[in-house]
Every structure is written in structure tokens, then in C-alpha cells.
Amino acid sequence: MTRWNVLLPPTIDPVGPESLADVADCTSRADYADEDELLADIDRYDAVITRTRPVTAELIAAADRLKVIAKHGTGVDNVDVEAATEHGVLVANTPGENTNSVAEHAVALLLAAKRNVVRADRATREADWRRADFRGHDLSGRTLGLFGAGNAGRRVATLLSGFGVSCVAFDPYVDPADLPENVSLVDEPLELFERADDASVHAPLTDETYHAIGEAEIGALPEDAVLVNTARGGVVDEDALVSALREGTIAGAGVDVYETEPPEPDDPLLECESAVFTQHNAGVSHDALENMSRAAAENVRTVHEGGVPETTLNPEVRE
């Protein structure tokens, strides 16, 4: 069987590339000085494994031998799937491989914001003992709104069931039979926020979900609510979130993703003391990175062997 050339992301857990050693030669995207140099050489690659770097229509059109783009992760907003389909290139992702990582991080942000963990930590380090200012709120008995009830959203619900939290979810694509017992569906996004005490975002960024959570949705939450986003920055209107945090419309936020990454140092969102911030690392625990590397490589192997990965987003390419 013909050996393939595989383009790797600049950083990737070695378990995946090592598993392809018998069928492919792998080259890191970091070996190229810039995108122009990569564009000039892309026609020698049979497969691309990508994390966050864009795989553009221009790159795909120049890749004459390309057969599969294997996304290391779930979201494919950095891959031009339409262009890939037009050029007969399969696109497959690795949903579920970082589900637990994302869900645990979302719960961590929720707890940190609700219990003022970061603010209390800062004050304590500065010998500013203001115990009464950092009391926070319990999770037990509250209702969490899940905007998106895919793998990560459902896992959050399962984790929080141990806290005595019930969940309402908006997701027009989910099968109700797949939901945990503590989750009920609503028909409209606004209803979700009207019924929730806190909310967590687990929807991909698409034309449909861009700024789906704005002033009306955030304003429907109670004043002691926390909004968590570990999905994609553009799903939440950051201007509306900043206004709500400044005005005290909600109590806090846990933010892992941003409309511009990394955010500018003077981004107004970063000035909001009641928010807890991380660096788009919800889904990249050491365990998750190993899982996604292995799964992305397995998708490459499947195509190399003439198959179509189960997680292919455009199977019509082979129909």
C-alpha cells in the first residue's frame, strides 16, 4: 500500500503520529516559515491533521493529492468544509474525545464564579480579608440552562446531577432519548434563559448560532446567575455580556473562549472583576490531547485503507 504524506499541526501529542509510522511520513506545519511556503508545498500531502490553524479554500484547491482533513477536536469552523467537499476531500472530526475535559472545565468555571474563588484568592494574597464579600451561592437545588446538549452539554448535566442540579436544554438537533434524567428540553432559546438560574454554552459556532446569546437572553437570567462559555466566543455577544456584568444584571461569568483570540489586553471583558477567565483550554487537558491525537490519526488510517471515518462530516464525497 502506498505510503502517504501527512501534514501535522505545530503541536500534537505524539501518540497519533507514531501510530501512523507504518503507513505515512509526517511533517509538522511548524516546519514552514509562513503560509506562502506551505501553500507552495501542500500538493504533496495526502492528509492534513489540523487543530486550530485554518485550512482554507485556497489551501485545499492547491492540494492536488489531498484525500482527508482530520480535525483534532470537534469544531470545524477553521476548516472550509464546503471547499473540501467541492474538491472531493473528506473532513472528519473527533467528537467525544475531549468531552470530559470540556465538561469538567465548564463545571470548574461555574463553581469558581459562583463561589468567588478567584476574587477571594486575589484578595487573600493581598492581605485584604473581606470574608463577607465572597460568600457566593450554592449549586444545589438550582436549574442550569444548557445552550446545546451534545456530548459536552450532556456530560455537564451528568456531573452536576451529583450536586442536585436540574437542567433545561435548548438543542433542536438532539434526540430526547439521549438526554440524562435530570435534563428537559425547551423549544426556544429565550425560554431556556427565562427558566434557568445559571447557563452554560455548548453549541458550535455557525451562522445559526452567531450571537445567539445576546442582550435579551442574558437579561432573562436572574441577578445571581453565572454564564459559562466553553464552546466558541462568537456564540455569545461579548458586548452584551460586558454590559450585563458591568450593570450587575448577572452576578458573574466563566469564559474560556473569545470572539478574538487571544483577546486584546484592553478588551473591556477582561476588566470585569466578576468574571473568571481561562485561555481556550477547556478541551485540551493532557488526557484529551492524547485521545484526540489518536482519534485523528485513526481517521487518517481509515481513509488510507479505503474507508470513510464514522465521524465524517461530508460523506457524500464518497457516495
Q: What is the CATH number of the domain that holds 29?
A: 3.40.50.720
Looking at the fold, whether 124 and 233 belong to one and the same domain comes out as: yes
Polymer length in residues for the chain: 319
The pLDDT of residue 1 is 75
Looking at the fold, whether 179 and 302 belong to one and the same domain comes out as: no
- Element (DSSP H or E) covering residue 145: strand 143-147
The three-state secondary structure class of 91 is strand
Q: Which one of the listed residues 261, 264, 271, 273 is annotated catalytic? A: 261
Express each pLDDT in 161-173 by its tens digit. 999 999 999 999 9
Looking at the fold, whether 309 and 220 belong to one and the same domain comes out as: no
Q: What is the mean pLDDT of residues 277-292?
A: 97
The pLDDT of residue 319 is 78
To the query of whether residue 97 is one of the catalytic residues in this protein, the response is no
To the query of whether residue 195 is one of the catalytic residues in this protein, the response is no
Looking at the fold, whether 121 and 84 belong to one and the same domain comes out as: no
Looking at the fold, whether 216 and 309 belong to one and the same domain comes out as: no
Looking at the fold, whether 212 and 157 belong to one and the same domain comes out as: yes
To the query of whether residue 72 is one of the catalytic residues in this protein, the response is no
Q: How many domains does the chain have?
A: 2
Looking at the fold, whether 230 and 90 belong to one and the same domain comes out as: no
Lowest mean pLDDT among 47-51, 72-76, 190-194: 72-76
Q: Which one of the listed residues 191, 280, 290, 298 is annotated catalytic? A: 280
The secondary structure of 179-245 as a DSSP string is: S-TTEEE-SSHHHHHHH-SEEEE-----TTTTT-B-HHHHHTS-TT-EEEE-S-GGGB-HHHHHHHH
Contact between 140 and 164 (Cβ < 8 Å)? yes
Express each pLDDT in 193-236 by its tens digit. 999 999 999 999 999 999 999 999 999 999 999 999 999 999 99
Looking at the fold, whether 220 and 295 belong to one and the same domain comes out as: no
Torsion angles phi and psi, residue 87, rounded to 5: -100, 10
The three-state secondary structure class of 150 is coil
299 has a pLDDT exceeding 90 = yes
Percent of the chain surpassing pLDDT 90: 98
Express each pLDDT in 241-258 by its tens digit. 999 999 999 999 999 999
Express each pLDDT in 307-316 by its tens digit. 999 999 999 9
Contact between 191 and 214 (Cβ < 8 Å)? no
- Please write down the HEC assignment for all residues of 55-81: ECHHHHHHCCCCCEEEECCCCCCCECH
Q: Which one of the listed residues 232, 294, 301, 304 is annotated catalytic? A: 232
Q: What is the mean pLDDT of residues 70-82?
A: 94
Looking at the fold, whether 106 and 90 belong to one and the same domain comes out as: no
Q: What is the mean pLDDT of residues 1-26?
A: 97
Looking at the fold, whether 21 and 126 belong to one and the same domain comes out as: no
Torsion angles phi and psi, residue 34, rounded to 5: -160, 180
Range of the domain at 62: 4-97+286-318
